[in-house]
Amino acid sequence: MRRHSGLSGILALSLVALVAACGGRDSLFFEAALEAGGAGNHAGSVSVIAGAGTLSDGGAGNVAGQSHGGAAAHGGVPGAGGSQGGAASRGGAPGAGGSTGGASTAGSGGQGGMACPGGTELCQGACIDTRSDAHDCGACGHDCGGGACVASACQPVVLATHRDSPCGIAVDASYVYFTAGGNVERVAIDGGPTTTLASGQFGACGVTVDAARVYWVNLVFSGQVMSAPLAGGAAETLADKQNYPFNIVVHDGLLYWTNSGNDTNGAGVMRMSVSGGPVTALAKNQAHPVGLTVGSGSLFWTSTAGGAIRTLPLAGGNVTTLATGQGDPLAISVVGTAIYWTTDGTGQVVKLERGGGTPVVLATGSNPAGIVADERNVYFTDSMGLIERLPVTGGEPSVLARTQLGAWAMAMDARNVYWINDSVDGSVVKLAK
């Protein structure tokens, strides 16, 4: 409930006392008498009280709230109209101001504000229960994107289920792409039937997408980098005999991926054109690199065996080790100058500024796995079945969803976070941010 200023409160109490003194007049109305030549200037009355001011010998009537301007007698100056209506409690909209009276005519009073009943808020001109409304969940304008709103929190939406061990996930403006059971599929962000873009892919895992094609890697000893047109058509092998390719990203017409096998068999960070051609090893001997992302003109990846976080400029240059001893780092996300990752060995969510310094542990959990971040929050999965969020500045994590068995890789857009539940009866899930 809004609190009025001290002056408004005093005036309201004074008005109540005045009504009582007037011998039982209707409590919603009052009269204020101003002496000759005096200026009426009573501000801040609440919007549900209306009255008429009387005036003699040229005084100015100026009673605030839903009131009438004073009528000027004996050639006095025009009475001022009622000022803007008082602000109603529980989110009511302020009333409009009154008009200005003529030389012998009272101005009309302002209209009081709209008041919403308890437990509701004024959203786009309507009183809404933000505890349960799926379009205004927890706050006006927070849409759950097809999910329910329970206790002011959006609930997860299952986009696909009964999938065999989903592994990778990506999103564009319209669809969510995922790999599961040897298939590459997509489903509309708003839900609906799934479409299989490729099948028969042994070990399909990391996936990424551009405007024309979807790309993925087959996570086996002599694995492949593959692609297929979004409009439909046959899958194409872009690179073969890759050493357990794990994650893949596309940026400016180039593909980057991690070969996560051991160093003697070509583990490293690789690059090639989206149209095929030679494969370039950008970084060799990277000790089981897995997580990979692009941000701020550079590549970033995690190396599980060495517990390292490393980077390399997209334009070329030397590999820089940003952190070591990170306890099996898995997924990685970059926003501006901040780098975030999860560690499987130590169960942590960690942040590091690109300029250097010591990594900061933001959260400690059971088994954090996937991670995405924006300018405000970090979202991460816990393989114990939790989806959590915490501010980029640190603090206590909030649990957004539970019972997400095998929650693993994540993706994000402006509205939602997405993840896969890597289990025998796996699923693809979204949740409004």
How many distinct structural domains can be found in the chain?
2
Average pLDDT, the chain: 80
Residues 90 and 121 sit within 8 Å (Cβ to Cβ): yes
Domain co-membership, 182 together with 80: no
Contacts for 382 with CB less than 8 Å, ≥ 6 apart: 365, 366, 367, 368, 369, 388, 407
Per-residue confidence (pLDDT) for residue 234, from 0 to 100: 97
What's the domain range around 342?
156-432
Tell which residue, 54, 78, 82, has the closest CA to residue 67. Answer: 82
Highest mean pLDDT out of 11-20, 23-32, 237-246: 237-246
> Which one is predicted more confidently, 75 or 361?
361
Q: What is the dihedral of CA 321, 327, 328, 334, to 10 degrees?
A: -50
Angstrom distance (rounded) from CA 340 to CA 356? 13
How many CB atoms within 10 Å of residue 233? 11
Average pLDDT for residues 208-214, to the nearest whole number? 98
DSSP state at residue 19: H
Domain co-membership, 63 together with 189: no
Quickly list DSSP for 98-142.
Answer: PPPP-TTSPPPPPPPPP-PPTT-EEETTEEE-TTT-TTSSSSTT-
Domain co-membership, 315 together with 185: yes
Domain co-membership, 75 together with 166: no
Residues facing residue 378 across a β-bridge? 373, 390
Tell which residue, 198, 163, 205, 166, has the closest CA to residue 183. Answer: 198
Tell me if 234 is assigned to some domain. Answer: yes
Q: Please say if the pLDDT value at position 57 is more than 50.
A: no
CA 382 to mean position of chain CA atoms: 19
Q: Where does a domain end: 115, 144, 173?
A: 115
Average pLDDT for residues 243-267, to the nearest whole number? 92
Average pLDDT for residues 251-271, to the nearest whole number? 91
Domain co-membership, 235 together with 370: yes
Domain co-membership, 160 together with 106: no
Contacts for 155 with CB less than 8 Å, ≥ 6 apart: 144, 147, 148, 149, 401, 431
CA distances to 3, 4, 12, 15, 85 from 9, rounded to whole Å, are 9, 6, 5, 10, 15
Residues 73 and 99 sit within 8 Å (Cβ to Cβ): no
CA 230 to mean position of chain CA atoms: 28
Quickly list DSSP for 184-219.
Answer: EEEEETT---EEEEE---TTEEEEEE-SSEEEEEE-
Average pLDDT for residues 236-262, to the nearest whole number? 96
Per-residue confidence (pLDDT) for residue 247, from 0 to 100: 98
Domain co-membership, 109 together with 221: no
Label residue 262 by pLDDT band (50, 70, 90): confident
CA distances to 85, 361, 373 from 370, rounded to whole Å, are 52, 16, 11
Tell me if 128 is assigned to some domain. Answer: no
Per-residue confidence (pLDDT) for residue 113, from 0 to 100: 57
Tell me if 145 is assigned to some domain. Answer: no
Secondary structure of residue 3 in the 3-state scheme: coil
Domain co-membership, 236 together with 182: yes
Assigned token pair, 413: 């857009």
How many CB atoms within 10 Å of residue 237? 11
Contacts for 106 with CB less than 8 Å, ≥ 6 apart: 52, 53, 61, 68, 69, 70, 71, 79
Tell me if 150 is assigned to some domain. Answer: no
Tell me if 85 is assigned to some domain. Answer: yes
**Tokens 């009131």 map to which residue?**
67
**Tokens 């101003």 map to which residue?**
34
Secondary structure of residue 339 in the 3-state scheme: strand
Secondary structure of residue 174 in the 3-state scheme: coil
Q: Please say if the pLDDT value at position 424 is more than 50.
A: yes
Residues 263 and 269 sit within 8 Å (Cβ to Cβ): no
CA distances to 15, 173, 222, 255 from 5, rounded to whole Å, are 15, 48, 73, 61
Tell me if 149 is assigned to some domain. Answer: no
pLDDT tens, 158-199? Answer: 999 999 999 999 999 999 999 999 999 999 999 999 999 999
pLDDT tens, 288-335? Answer: 999 999 998 999 999 998 899 999 999 888 999 999 999 999 999 999
pLDDT tens, 91-134? Answer: 444 444 444 444 444 455 444 557 899 889 999 999 999 999 99
Q: Where does a domain end: 115, 142, 165?
A: 115
Domain co-membership, 174 together with 235: yes
Assigned token pair, 280: 């370039």
Q: Where does a domain end: 59, 82, 115?
A: 115
Tell me if 143 is assigned to some domain. Answer: no
Q: Please say if the pLDDT value at position 281 is more than 90.
A: yes
CATH of the domain at 417: 2.120.10.30
Quickly list DSSP for 278-323.
Answer: --EEEEE--SSEEEEEEETTEEEEEETTTTEEEEEETT----EEEE
Domain co-membership, 276 together with 390: yes
Tell which residue, 84, 83, 77, has the closest CA to residue 39. Answer: 77
Angstrom distance (rounded) from CA 405 to CA 385? 5
Among left, alpha and beta (phi > 0; psi -120 to 50; other), residue 87 is beta
Domain co-membership, 209 together with 313: yes
Tell me if 133 is assigned to some domain. Answer: no
Domain co-membership, 262 together with 372: yes
